[in-house]
């Protein structure tokens, strides 16, 4: 051991260091968004993630409309093996593959994995060190056998009510519960891995859409518990801050502007030349301004209507006030900050009319040792790694071809 005052050795280049989960094997029996998100988190952090697909491939490879981006978005840095679990020979291959894993992840209906001997009880009997991550619609309880979708739990869990206007529940504009449910599954897996390092034993981790959604609206539940007043939908809420809104300005453009403290209110008034509002004692504190919002906001809207969004953005940036242009998702490809900081990475599309072409995908929003976690493996073609993975499990060429002839593998 070095003496306490020894000069520490120079740290290696972060880019040359192994990723934190290098050497970890994850086998995922997943589809759609929730389970694949869990696998992507672990894959981006360096794990070898093997995606088990049916012979015909994951359904999300060929979805239209809002689902068109699912597969390339959530399946980078993974290998693909095609196995027919309905075939006894295929199920045996899957069990052998799962026996080689540190982590198994799945997001099928309760009872599905047990039919193939791929449930936690069966797999952990062979490998007590296994960590098994189940992604479900509901944690065990009265609802556990219901079919759940992101939209279902948003409706029953209060999120759609909070997002829309009264009488018009509206789902959030992205797959928030699927994505966060997968992330919580990955968090659980990481915690279980740490505990396994201490105890030597694995465990089952469960993550669920409904419980994730309830966690998201927990702040509004707590608001009711404290105030005794039901939370109003976001478009009709009583804001905690007086200036915290979208303004329609010159040429019909829109921009979000805010001033969330008394100091920011003073800066806001000074920057915009609203000396009279700053001097008005009725608006002296944030809570007073919130109370008087019905009269204050029309004044601000009228005074700002002739200014351009670009002018206001430049002004707010210069004086350090919060603001935001109103953007569409496709406009983010040209975002100056994302492009300067490496927030988008090029991937090769594996399926569809644009197969073989490249597109830029979003990376995880954090760095490790100053580096973004990038793309090591492109989203895989269906069954791209089947032969390679089976050979590593000890199947010889003849055995692999025999399994193919039976259509147990693809």
Query: CA 85, CA 115: separation in Å to the nearest integer?
Result: 9
Query: CA 105, CA 135: separation in Å to the nearest integer?
Result: 8
Query: 58, 178, 276, 351: which is the annotated catalytic residue?
Result: 178
- The answer to whether residues 178 and 304 belong to one domain is no
Count of CA atoms in the C-beta half-sphere (13 A) of 90: 20
Q: Is residue 57 part of a domain?
A: yes
- The answer to whether residues 136 and 74 belong to one domain is yes
The answer for 312, left when phi > 0, alpha when psi is -120 to 50, beta otherwise, is: alpha
The CATH number for 306's domain is 3.30.1540.10
pLDDT tens sequence across 6-52: 444 444 555 567 899 999 999 999 999 999 999 999 999 999 999 99
Last residue of a domain, one of 303, 325, 347: 325
Q: Is residue 401 part of a domain?
A: yes
pLDDT tens sequence across 86-119: 999 999 999 999 999 999 999 999 999 999 999 9
Using alpha carbons, list the distances in angstroms from residue 244 to 101, 232, 238: 49, 16, 11
pLDDT tens sequence across 233-288: 988 887 889 999 999 999 999 999 999 999 999 999 999 999 999 999 999 999 99
Q: Is residue 149 part of a domain?
A: yes
Tokens 């915009």 belong to residue: 272
| Residue 178 annotated to the active site | yes
Domain that holds residue 60: 20-217+357-405
- The answer to whether residues 243 and 208 belong to one domain is no
User: How many domains would you assign to the chain?
Assistant: 2
Length of the chain: 410
């Amino acid at each position: 051991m070095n003496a306490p005052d020894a000069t520490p050795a120079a740290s290696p280049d972060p880019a040359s260091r192994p990723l934190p989960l290098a050497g970890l094997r994850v086998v995922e029996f997943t589809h759609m968004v929730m389970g694949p998100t869990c696998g992507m988190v672990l894959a981006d952090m360096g794990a070898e993630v093997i995606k088990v697909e049916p012979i015909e491939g994951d359904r999300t490879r060929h979805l239209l409309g809002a689902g068109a981006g699912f597969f390339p978005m959530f399946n980078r840095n993974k290998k693909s093996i095609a196995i027919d679990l309905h075939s006894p020979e295929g199920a045996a291959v899957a069990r052998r593959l799962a026996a080689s894993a540190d982590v198994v992840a799945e997001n099928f209906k309760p009872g599905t994995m047990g039919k193939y001997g791929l449930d936690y009880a069966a797999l952990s009997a062979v490998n007590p060190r296994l960590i098994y991550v189940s992604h479900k619609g509901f944690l065990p309880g009265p609802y556990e056998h219901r079919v759940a979708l992101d939209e279902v739990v948003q409706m029953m869990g209060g999120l759609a009510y909070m997002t829309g206007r009264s009488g018009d529940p509206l789902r959030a504009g992205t797959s928030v519960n699927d994505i966060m449910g997968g992330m919580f599954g990955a968090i659980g897996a990481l915690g279980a891995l740490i505990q396994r390092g201490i105890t030597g034993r694995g465990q089952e981790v469960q993550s669920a859409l409904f419980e994730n959604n309830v966690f998201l609206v927990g702040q509004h539940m707590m608001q009711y518990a404290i105030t005794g007043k039901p939370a109003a939908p976001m478009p009709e809420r009583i804001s905690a801050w007086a200036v915290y809104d979208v303004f329609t300005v010159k040429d019909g453009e829109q921009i979000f502007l805010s001033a969330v403290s008394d100091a920011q209110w003073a800066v806001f008034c000074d920057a915009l030349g609203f000396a009279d509002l700053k001097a008005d004692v009725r608006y002296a504190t944030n809570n007073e301004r919130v109370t008087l919002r019905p009269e204050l906001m029309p004044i601000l809207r009228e005074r700002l209507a002739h200014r351009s969004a670009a002018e206001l953005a430049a002004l707010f940036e210069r004086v350090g006030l919060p603001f935001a242009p109103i953007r569409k998702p496709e406009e983010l490809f040209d975002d100056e900050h994302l492009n300067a900081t490496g927030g988008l990475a090029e991937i090769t599309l594996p399926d569809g009319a644009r197969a073989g072409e490249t597109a830029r995908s979003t990376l995880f929003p954090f760095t490790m040792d100053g580096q973004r976690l990038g793309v090591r493996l492109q989203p895989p073609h269906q069954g791209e790694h089947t032969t390679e993975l089976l050979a590593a499990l000890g199947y010889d060429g003849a055995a692999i071809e025999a399994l193919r002839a039976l259509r147990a593998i693809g």
